[in-house]
Amino acid sequence: MVTILDIAKEAGVSHGTVSNVLNGKGNVSSKKMELVLNAAEKLGYNLNNNAKLLRSGKSQTIIMILPSLALEEYSIFYENALKEASSIDYQIRLYCTYDNPIREKQIIKEIIKERPASIITVSALHDANEYYENIPISKSDIIFINRNLANVQEFITFDFNQAGIDIATLIDQHIIGKIALFTGKDNFTNEHEFTNALLENLDNRDITVYQSTLSHEYENAFKIVLESSFDCIIVTNVSKAQLLIKAFHYASNKKLPKIIALGPLKNMHSNEMMYYFQDFGYLGERVVKNIIQTINLKDKSHSNVYPNYGFLMKPDRYKNFQSEIKILTIDSPATHALKKVITHFEKNTNCIVHLDIKSYNEVFQIIEDDEKWKDFDIIRLDIAGYSWYGQKIYRPLRGLEVEIDAFIEALPYFIKDAYVNINDTAYAVPFDISIQMLFYRKDIFENDIVKRKYFEKTKSELKIPTTFEKYNEIITFFNENDFDQVKELTGASMISGNFETIAAEYLLRYYSLKGDLLTGTDIHLDPEVAINAMKLLYDNYRNSLVIDSNWWGEEVQAFNKGKSAMVIGFMNHLSVVSQSNIKGSIGIADVPGNTPLLGGGILGLTKSTKNVEASIEFLTWLNSPEISEQINLLGGNTASYFLSNNSVVRTMYPWLAKAKKTIINGKRETVFENGQRIDLKHTEEIIGKHILKLLTEDQPQFKKICRKT
């Protein structure tokens, strides 16, 4: 076994220095730190996390007791809980009971000596006192999930009663014939509540109920298949549905009936099943987050009823058309995602969709031509131009379709103000909501040697920059050093291909200094703020990897390939990061100054369209939960999923949770206080033109920014 003395000898330093490095203590130079870490790695030494916990006197272990990871809902629950715990240096120790009470009581005896921070359990017992009387931690730190035991203090569950009502409603409206319910034992409260709600709301239907323990589900699946013939079978988890399909395969020559399954929210589709979703991933994440946030509080309560996600797909939802619609849109991640799934709309509605994909400036050229834009039924417009052109080309949406009205009504006011309303009238729906965010290499920022060298250079701690002064300081540090950890790495990348992107970079810094573009009834830059913002941008430009590209995609690719330590960009262009080799090493933060520019665009029906019904059906389809999920998973960013807590999308794009909180700080000035609107696209072109000229000068006169604009 490798000891601290072995490492000290190998590194040629004192054992006290080794101890300080391994425990993150003391004022150790970067040179000695590097010697110690290299020696430890060479000798195969691993710092014992349990020893660290014993020294700190605090347990960072959460015990999780589940029926089985073979049940997909609990596998997803565990994975998301583990991910959340690991992100804040907690660990989860998992036990499975297989719904055997004897096994569960043995587990309770085993964990008595572990003194965990908390226990999360889906229990097969009848009384919570089995835990409270045997485990010496607070009752409020033992959390029971889905199954409510006698004497429980903390209980978290989905709304199984509502699930029963929702499925009963769907069956009553769309399914005729004989029905079976395949469920767990009635002594589990989640199964009991669901069964009662379903039967009470289908009391006029012929329903046969089959109950089963976990260990006898397969034989009971065969029993259902062999005993009778059903038109629909409802199951309380996906595992039961899969066993039924197997039983039909081996034991029956009958057609497989419609199966409706309670299931964990995930990206899945089946022609054999209809899913009623509950977001177990989000539940796992939230339970662990709440435990850790309240771990040191005396008075706390975790009890909660989480809403169900429900059906993503519903039968007979689409109208049928024998028509074609033409859509003008920009070349963007959301458009590429839309192209992949548009066949689904066409085959369900018999409406052919023609996507005319243009560049950002080409779209505006078409809109500015009073005849060309009339060739389209739907136009995607950037929010920089929506306020100015929206009333000219779009027809109001209210009253055209109940589902679109409900969708708009549910949006927060700040989304409506930027992406929906012009003078309080809805002319469009959001297509790809976006804000600027800071992405950074977490592995670099958290590296002990990098942090120490930064301190030696700047006499300050390396942290995520909250001001552009600090952002530029970090860029300079990375550019001026070539030690192993940052070799061939620039501080940040930046694009300079067109006026609009340069204007966005400048306005981000201008707003970070609390400047305003619109004052009174004038478009006006505050001189002092404008000059300081220009200096910050110039410093950034001179020290960054400058990419001559017209849009943010190239800048993101440079970051993706490990060429830069930081990148600021609109998040709808950052979706490619989720497929990056460095995904696990990426951190997400608010932009310095925390006043990001709003970006993305909207979709609206043109005044000239003769295909109003087909066009509104397209918008309804696009914003349905089913299609919104697919657009987001393929790299787009629809409003409903931007604002949701969907764990499937959040797992792929972890920055959505932060963006959802930050967007309220977003800014894109398009209207004066008196209601007068400006052509922001043209304004940003003017600003960008003069800024780009100043950036290329060796000794720029920064005061020109005020005179020229």
Cβ proximity of 33 and 21 under 8 Å:
yes
Q: Please state, as a whole number, how many other Cβ atoms lie within 10 Å of the Cβ of residue 122.
A: 23
Task: For residue 581, count other CB atoms closer than 10 A to its CB.
Answer: 9
Span 1-20, average pLDDT: 82
pLDDT band at 408 (very low <50, low <70, confident <90, very high): very high
Q: What span, in angstroms and rounded, lies between the C-alpha atoms of 66 and 282?
A: 17
- Using the predicted structure, report yes or no on whether residue 140 has a pLDDT greater than 50: yes
Angle between helices 625-633 and 612-622 (to 10 degrees): 60
- pLDDT bucket at 709, cuts 50 / 70 / 90: low
CA distance 387 to 684: 14
Q: Which of 357, 383, 237, 288 is nearest to 94 (CA)?
A: 288
Report the phi/psi class of residue 617: left, alpha or beta, with left for phi > 0 and alpha for psi in -120 to 50.
Answer: alpha
**Side chain identity, residue 396:** P
| pLDDT attached to residue 208 | 95
Measured between its terminal Cα atoms, the distance across the chain in Å is: 69
Which tens digits make up the pLDDT trace of 382-402?
Answer: 999 999 999 999 999 999 998
Residue among 623, 628, 614, 626 at smallest CA distance from 354: 614
Query: Comparing C-alpha atoms, which of 613, 634, 609, 639 is closest to residue 429?
Result: 639
Alpha-carbon span 165 to 200, nearest angstrom:
9
pLDDT at position 57: 47
Mean pLDDT of 698-708: 71
Residues 6+ away with beta carbon under 8 Å from 200: 164, 168
What local confidence, expressed as pLDDT, does residue 496 receive? 81
The backbone torsions φ and ψ at residue 360, rounded to the nearest 5 degrees and listed phi first, read: -55, -50
At 52, is the pLDDT very low, low, confident or very high (cuts 50, 70, 90)? very low
Say which amino acid occupies 457.
K
Q: How do beta strands 564-570 and 490-495 pair?
A: parallel
Query: How would residue 50 be classed by pLDDT, with cut points 50, 70 and 90?
Result: very low
- Sign (positive or negative) of CA dihedral 450, 454, 459, 463: negative
- Nearest CA among 463, 472, 476, 479 for reference residue 536: 472
In angstroms, rounded to a whole number, what is the distance separating the alpha carbons of residues 343 and 67?
Answer: 41
CA atoms within 13 A on the CB side of 87: 18
pLDDT value for 51: 41
**Mean pLDDT, range 153-159, rounded to an integer:** 96
Structure confidence by residue, pLDDT tens digits, 262-314? 999 987 777 788 999 999 999 999 999 999 888 877 777 888 999 999 998 76
Task: Classify 511 as helix, strand or coil.
Answer: helix
Distances (CA, A) of 145 to 116, 124, 153, 155, 480: 18, 11, 12, 6, 53
* Torsion angle, alpha carbons of 64, 67, 72, 75, to 10: 20
State the Cα–Cα distance between residues 505 and 494, nearest whole angstrom: 9
Mean pLDDT of 186-203: 95
Which token pair is 545? 């990897």
Q: Is the pLDDT of residue 36 over 80?
A: yes
- The band of 649, judged by pLDDT with boundaries at 50, 70 and 90, is confident
Tens-digit pLDDT profile for residues 120-138: 999 999 999 999 999 989 9
Residue with more model confidence, 424 or 25: 424
Q: What is the SS3 assignment for 633-664?
A: HCCCCCHHHHCCCCHHHHHHCCHHHHHHHHHH
Segments of 279-432 assigned E as strands? 304-306, 310-311, 323-330, 351-358, 378-382, 421-422, 425-426, 429-430
Structure tokens at 34: 């590097």
Classify residue 47 by its DSSP letter: -
Contact 643, 412 (CB under 8 A): yes
403 to each of 144, 288, 496, 625, how far by Cα in Å? 37, 35, 42, 12
Measured between alpha carbons, how far is 381 from 449 in angstroms, rounded to an integer? 47
Confidence of residue 373 (pLDDT cuts 50, 70, 90): very high
Residue 708 has pLDDT above 90, yes or no: no
d(CA 6, CA 399): 77
Look-up of token digits 């028509």: 323
Amino acid at 132: Y
pLDDT tens per residue across span 560-582: 888 889 999 888 777 777 767 77
Question: What average pLDDT does this structure show over 225-250?
Answer: 94
**What single DSSP character describes residue 498?**
S
* CA distances in angstroms from 329 to 125, 360, 457, 600, 638, listed in the order given: 57, 9, 48, 12, 15
Mean pLDDT (the chain) is 89
CA gap 649, 653 in Å, rounded: 6
The better pLDDT of the pair 552, 464 is held by 464
The reported pLDDT for the residue numbered 135 is 92
Give the confidence band of 687 by pLDDT, cuts at 50, 70, 90.
Answer: very high
What is the pLDDT at residue 642?
A: 67
Report DSSP letters for 220-256, one per residue. Answer: HHHHHHHH---SEEEESSHHHHHHHHHHHHHH--SPP
Task: Please enumerate in sequence order all residues whose Cβ is within 8 A of that of 516, keeping only pairs 6 or more positions apart, or say none.
Answer: 526, 669
Closest CA to 430 of 416, 418, 417, 419: 419
Handedness of CA 593, 591, 538, 694 (dihedral sign): negative
Q: Which pLDDT band holds residue 235 (cuts at 50, 70, 90)? A: very high
User: In sequence order, what are the residues at sequence separation of 6 or more whose Cβ sits closer than 8 angstroms to the Cβ of residue 668?
Assistant: 383, 384, 418, 597, 598, 599, 680
- CA 155/CA 139 separation, integer angstroms: 11
Residue 212 confidence (pLDDT) above 60: yes
Q: Per-residue pLDDT averaged across 584-606, rounded?
A: 93
Distance CA 443, CA 676 (A): 48
Tens digits of residue pLDDT in 619-629 = 999 998 888 88
